[in-house]
Amino acid sequence: MANAHSIPDLKNQVRDFWDADPCGTRYLEGPEDFQAHARARYALEPHIPEFARFSSARGLRVLEVGVGMGADYLEWLKAGALASGVDLSAASLERARRRCELAGFRPDLRLADAERLPFGNNTFDVVYSYGVMHHSPDTPQCFREAWRVLKPGGEARIMVYHHPSLTGAMLWLRYGLSQGKSLRRAVYDHLESPGTKTYTLAEVRSMMAGFENIALRQVFSPGDLLLNRPSARFQSPAYRLVWRLYPRRLAGMLGGGWGLFLLISGRKPAVPAPYALTECSSHQRCKT
């Protein structure tokens, strides 16, 4: 949906969005109450520690792409990883840096673009990115960069948004149906930062073309079941009523295949072949 001329402007819009409202800010109970943020994050998304495998990271070189306010990044440091982190948002990095310093750590955090990582080839044992790459205009390039900076035999652990999802369907009912938008376009325009994309299982496999031992797992997001606290745009009495009456149990039972979160892991081959170039947008299948 973005083209070569609009990508720089879109990337600036994404940066400005997260600078204005770093991910998870609504769960801070005070300006530096990072423990409240972590409690909410891992209560709403209890699969994160198992997927990230923080506890097995001691001594490993880990890169987190898109640290946000640093909840997961701090877990890497606490586990004994040699962890670096990048983010496009300076405001998010400042909070992540403060979080780590309050916990007694000296973080290695850099302002950087996931499409052009400031690290050499074959540097990291693990590249971890949770809910970030689908916000970048060129998501396949983010996957290629993850592959590039991984050591041979290293593992990528990435979460991107899945198509279709209950969250996307709700956004389509609210914004897309009346305006003639597709489900994907409703997500692109209205889910978090501008230009957010979703991907089918087949599209993700295509973006993971350079990896082996690929594993995909789909899970419900807090948004699919309206477990999350409503953001600023959903504070009216009508929205509060929707949150109260939403049939979470029924949605969870009948919504198989419609979870928003797609957890992806894959290894860079010990003797890697050149990464296959992919083209993938939010409205067509990836091509190699």
Tracing tokens 């477990």 back to the chain, one arrives at 227
What strands, in cross-sheet order, belong to the sheet with 61-65?
Answer: 108-111, 82-87, 61-65, 124-130, 150-161, 261-267, 212-219
Query: What pLDDT sits at residue 276?
Result: 54
128 contacts 74 by C-beta, under 8 angstroms:
no
Reported for 230-233, long-range contacts at CB under 8 A and 24+ positions apart, including other chains, are 231/26, 232/21
Q: How many structural domains is the chain composed of?
A: 1
Query: Is residue 180 in a domain?
Result: no
CA distance 284 to 185: 12
CA distance 30 to 35: 10
Query: What pLDDT sits at residue 25?
Result: 83
Write out the DSSP string of 181-214: --HHHHHHHHSSSTT---B-HHHHHHHTTT-EEE
Residue 282 scores a pLDDT above 80 = no
Tracing tokens 């998304």 back to the chain, one arrives at 45
Bridge partners of 199?
162
282 contacts 198 by C-beta, under 8 angstroms:
yes
Query: Is residue 213 in a domain?
Result: yes
Query: Is residue 179 in a domain?
Result: no
What CATH number did the domain enclosing 198 receive?
Answer: 3.40.50.150
Query: Is residue 129 in a domain?
Result: yes
Task: Label residue 244 by pLDDT band (50, 70, 90).
Answer: very high
Residue 117 scores a pLDDT above 70 = yes
pLDDT digits (tens, 9 = 90+) for 80-105: 999 999 999 999 999 999 999 999 99
pLDDT digits (tens, 9 = 90+) for 174-224: 999 999 999 999 999 999 999 999 999 999 999 999 999 999 999 999 999
Query: Is residue 242 in a domain?
Result: no
Higher pLDDT among residues 28 and 119, named by residue: 119
Copy the structure tokens of residue 238.
């009508």
Residue 11 scores a pLDDT above 70 = yes
Query: What pLDDT sits at residue 139?
Result: 97
Length of the chain: 288
Query: Is residue 1 in a domain?
Result: no
Task: Label residue 285 by pLDDT band (50, 70, 90).
Answer: very low
3-state secondary structure of 115: coil
- Residue 146 is part of which domain span? 7-162+193-222+258-267
Query: Is residue 126 in a domain?
Result: yes
Cut 0.85: pTM above it: yes
Alpha helices for the chain (secondary structure H): 7-20, 34-44, 48-52, 71-78, 90-102, 139-149, 166-171, 177-179, 183-190, 201-207, 237-245, 248-254
pLDDT digits (tens, 9 = 90+) for 24-79: 788 787 767 899 999 999 999 999 999 999 999 999 999 999 999 999 999 999 99
188 CB contacts (<8 Å, ≥6 apart)?
1, 194, 195, 196, 197, 282
Query: What pLDDT sits at residue 284?
Result: 41
Query: Is residue 245 in a domain?
Result: no
